[in-house]
């Protein structure tokens, strides 16, 4: 059924790095929901695999001493959705990954695999961009941290160097404290479908809930990689909570997004979606933060 040349089972992160260095053409396999499909389709026929599935130190969600939210890359979508810290601090991420595939995929698929694939349609990617996530990678030269916008290089390509693997997704306290967000996925079907466009927004309101102190927005499928819309963020910062502000937000995203036409949707439809989803996601985020439009 599967054409695999060799399978190496890592016993630790250090062992995984050693295996990747010794077998530079090998692919990492965790949940396998993407890799096994590619093997079965023949795109990775005869490949070598380094399995990190048994590395429990890469699973789970925790808080570092400085309040940084640490998400293990082997954490499944189902566990992220149900995790108490995710629900308390960044519930929108749990909502976003709960839209991936069906229950079977969400039970085995991992957030690390979802991001390391480098695809712009990944449901977790836009939300992680909107929350200023930092990607921690470990390799033969030690540990390094990359802002997620630097982690994504091009469609299907991320900044992992030879021998490296993702070991954590980090969200700093200053990036989540006081912020509330909402994610909207537009697809042709309500389940088991890839996003035509995904939009994630979060806001921080003033103490009286009358002013937008800060807003962040990120998209999937609005360009070759998941991306922020800085023009929209700047356009509403410091403005009063109002319908006019929401409209200005939607208009400003058109300065940044650059979707393409594909068999799923035309560029023109995606531009319309980007504008409308921005307005809806901002309005909902304001409501969740206690504001009234």
Query: What pLDDT tens digit does each residue of the chain (293 aa) get?
Result: 578 899 999 999 999 999 999 999 999 999 888 888 888 888 888 889 999 999 999 999 999 999 999 999 999 999 999 999 999 999 999 999 999 888 888 989 999 999 999 988 888 999 999 999 999 999 999 999 999 999 999 988 999 999 999 999 999 999 999 999 999 998 877 766 788 899 999 999 999 999 999 999 999 988 899 999 999 999 999 999 999 999 999 999 999 998 888 887 899 999 999 999 999 999 999 999 999 98
CA distance 276 to 191: 21
Q: Which CATH number fits domain 181-288: 3.30.390.50, 2.60.120.40, 3.40.50.410, 3.30.565.10?
A: 3.30.390.50
Same fold, 4-51 and 56-173: no
pLDDT, residue 12, reads 98
pLDDT, residue 158, reads 96
Return the structure tokens found at 280: 């809806």
CA distance 181 to 247: 18
pLDDT, residue 199, reads 96
Q: What sign for the dihedral angle of Cα 119, 222, 193, 268?
A: negative
Return the structure tokens found at 219: 């998209």
Q: Which residues pair with 10 in a beta bridge?
A: none
Question: What is the CATH number that goes with domain 4-51?
Answer: 3.30.43.10
pLDDT, residue 1, reads 58
pLDDT, residue 26, reads 94
Return the structure tokens found at 78: 């189902």
* Stated length of the chain: 293
Domain range summary for the chain, segments of one domain joined by +:
4-51, 56-173, 181-288
Cα distances (angstroms) measured from residue 187 to each of 159, 226, 234, 273, 280: 28, 16, 28, 11, 16
In the numeric block, the tokens 């006081």 are attached to 178
Q: Which CATH architecture has domain 56-173?
A: 2-Layer Sandwich (3.30)
pLDDT, residue 128, reads 97
pLDDT, residue 222, reads 86
């Amino acid at each position: 059924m599967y054409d695999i040349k060799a399978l190496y089972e890592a016993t630790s992160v250090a062992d995984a790095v050693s295996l990747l260095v010794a077998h530079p053409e090998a692919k990492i396999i965790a949940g396998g929901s993407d890799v096994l499909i590619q093997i079965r389709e023949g795109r990775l026929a005869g490949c070598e695999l380094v399995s990190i599935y048994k590395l429990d130190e890469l699973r789970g969600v925790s808080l570092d001493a400085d309040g940084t939210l640490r998400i293990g890359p082997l954490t499944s979508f189902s566990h992220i959705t149900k995790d108490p810290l995710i629900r308390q601090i960044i519930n929108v991420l749990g909502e976003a990954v709960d839209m991936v595939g069906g229950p079977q995929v969400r039970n085995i698929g991992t957030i690390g695999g979802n991001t390391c694939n480098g695809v712009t349609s990944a449901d977790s990617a836009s939300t992680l961009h909107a929350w200023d996530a930092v990607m921690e990678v470990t390799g033969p030269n030690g540990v390094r941290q990359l802002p997620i916008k630097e982690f994504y290089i091009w469609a299907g390509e991320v900044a992992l160097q030879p021998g490296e693997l993702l070991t954590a997704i980090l969200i700093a306290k200053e990036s989540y404290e006081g912020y509330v967000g909402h994610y909207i996925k537009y697809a042709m079907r309500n389940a088991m479908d890839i996003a035509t466009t995904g939009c994630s927004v979060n806001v921080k309101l003033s103490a009286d809930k009358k002013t937008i102190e800060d807003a962040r927005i990120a998209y999937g499928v609005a360009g070759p990689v998941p991306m922020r819309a800085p023009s929209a963020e700047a356009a509403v910062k410091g403005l009063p909570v109002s319908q006019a502000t929401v409209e200005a937000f939607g208009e400003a995203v058109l300065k940044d997004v650059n979707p393409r036409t594909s068999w799923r949707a035309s560029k023109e439809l995606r531009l319309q979606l980007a504008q409308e989803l921005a307005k809806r996601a901002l309005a909902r985020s304001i409501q969740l933060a206690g504001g009234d439009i």
